[in-house]
Amino acid sequence: MLIDVLLTSEKVRMRDSSAVEQKLNQIISADKDKLLVVSDFDYTLSRFHDPEGKSCLTTHGVFDSAAWTVSQELGMILERLKEKYLPIEFDPHITVAEKIPHMEDWYAFFHSLEGAEELMLMLRDHNVPLIIFSAGIGNVIDFFLRKELGRFPSNIHIVSNMMKYDENDVAVAFSEPLIHTFCKNSAVISRYGSLFSEISSRTCVLLMGDSLGDSKMDVGLECEQVALKIGFLNYNDETLLAKYLDGYDIVLLDDQTMHVPPACINCRLESKSKSHVSTEEESVAVNDKIPNLR
């Protein structure tokens, strides 16, 4: 059983395993067309560090690296902003309300993982909507998906800060409203009428993120009946762990893979009917999808 594997994994933490098991059972017993996946991108669908321990770039990091090649002065300005605002975003002693003005300041300036590909392809094949909420740069995500998947899947929707270009194809601004860590939720996409229509009947939500704010990305989903929330904690910090366990059902400690999330929904997607997902089916799905967690 999946819950048994999760309970014995060194990388998995749960505050209430019984609640997690109940949510898993609800997802497994629902129709396939009731499933919706909501995910952050940086350090959730992408890696926090590589196998050698070297930090990987975020979408802003890609932008910053390019800035250094254009101008050393611009590169230094962006580096100073990161040094100032990043500690604020992850400080467990500062409330969300206190953090929001700082995050707006940071992102306003830009205005003036192993297995992730497999997960996205599985969702595409089963026509499950994937909403990628990102406080990063959406153009970088778009480019990455087209490069890794060959084309942009129709089931994926990016809600992020998109660069706007002038008639000379020069980036001059970002789309509004600016999206930062603590405003990433379904209320932001109210202007996307077709997207809201597509997800209006999706009652089972799998949510994935790497920050405390990400755990609220499902706020505004009026049809939601059950939400299984998986948090990627990439820092070895017991204080942060306690906070993450308040916001997420499952917390993955420095897990640079995308093995757990697919396992949570694979037995539902691969089964032939909602009325019967056998223990054998689930065991096969778990063994296939979580080979290296113990």
Catalytic residue from among 4, 33, 42, 210: 42
Asked if 210 is an active-site residue, the reply is no
Asked if 40 is an active-site residue, the reply is yes
Catalytic residue from among 16, 31, 33, 40: 40
Name the region of 150 (left: φ>0; alpha: ψ -120 to 50; beta: rest).
left
- Which amino acids are annotated catalytic? 40, 42
